[in-house]
Chains A and B, each alone.
Chain A
């Protein structure tokens, strides 16, 4: 049943990447519980615009939970309190009338705040450029079926490939580590025959790039898998560790 709630928002406002920011308080009145979290922010931004104030900048694109663009830390939880949900798919029915909601951007040395809640997460793109691809020509769709892949392996690879690169794992990690992201990318390709020829080089280069970009180190806190909107689990990190040790000690990859 649709109802309206009133909320107090404390939103991180930061004019630019070089400036300092602070939490500003806004009253959100008559918010329909059918709205998504981003629609609620749209309403606030319309109000701010009418008042002549600067609207809150936040990242968003598809708004259907598949692109990985949106994301903010809501009351200390990346993408909010619901399990397996992106911020755009979080609905206001999960909040109660009178709640105070603190909204902050992803925080990590490797992710710079561009403005307010908008964050430069291109470090994840650089990780993909370091090796998160295959360079062999795999032909068209029928050629893909020429190499048989057991269903179980395909499912494991698909679970890892579900990663949308939103960066919630980094935001959730107490150490700001990108191990779940890299683990998902390495696993996805290492499991499949098309990815195997370059597996050693891929994992060596991706780990090197991850360290160079200033992400933290994984200490198995498991916050990443608990917050991942695609529920990618840490067995992918274990596979990354295996692949790394295998590449380092048993391949000719330098």
Chain B
């Protein structure tokens, strides 16, 4: 087997792919959140932001293709790992008890991941693959969040995302070998703060839009 294929097919290689793509999504989330905060300012600011973003058209297309590729790698590798890890213990323990290593985030990683995949598809159908003629993106978003069910779904999805990120962020650094006695506590702290920012930053937006509608 070719050494490159062998590297990425190995257990450490698969971890590395999860870490690199996961950190890529963290960067995307940060940029997406920064952009979305303009929703709090109002209709004009958000539409101006969206327009400006789309004026960088070739770049946006390249980024979208990159995200799609990262998503494919992250989802496929994640599902392979989930299956392999499940079959690595054919007979389960009658009693399992944590010694304190696992967190809610780490314990639920595959499940939150699958839920997030479903959410991303739903989210894209809501706001990306829609007819935008004769309306603005703000109006589409504001109209969607007049429905309390949609708002509830988005809030739940963001709680799920926060848990996924709470384990994913520091875990990616550990996987890439960046575990240093000086920096690891900072990385873990930053991961916690970032997951809260993702949960609150994105999660409160639909609630705010529902409240002002």
Contact = CB atoms under 8 A, between A and B. Distances in A.
A239 B85 contact: no
B177 interface: yes
A44 B81 CA distance: 41
B10 A77 contact: no
Interface residues of B, number: 42
Nearest to A113: B91
Contact of A177 (B10, B88, B102): B88
Contact of B177 (A73, A179, A239): A239
A110 B13 CA distance: 20
A73 B99 CA distance: 12
A238 interface: yes
A171 B9 CA distance: 24
Contacts of A94: none
A77 to B, nearest CB: 5
A235 B10 CA distance: 20
A84 B79 CA distance: 34
Interface stretch (A28-36, A61-69, A135-143, A203-211): A203-211
Interface stretch (A52-60, A126-134, A193-201, A217-225): A217-225
Q: How large is the interface on A (under 10, 10 to 19, 20 to 34, 35 or more residues)?
A: 35 or more
Contact of A208 (B10, B84, B99): B10
B5 to A, nearest CB: 11
B174 A216 contact: no
B148 to A, nearest CB: 36
B102 A217 contact: no
Contact of B101 (A108, A215, A221, A254): A221
A116 interface: no
Interface string B73-102: 000000001001101111111111111111
Contacts of B177: 238-239, 241-242, 245
B166 interface: no
Contacts of A181: none
Nearest to A21: B91
8 contacts: A73-B93, A176-B89, A211-B11, A216-B88, A217-B81, A238-B178, A241-B16, A245-B12
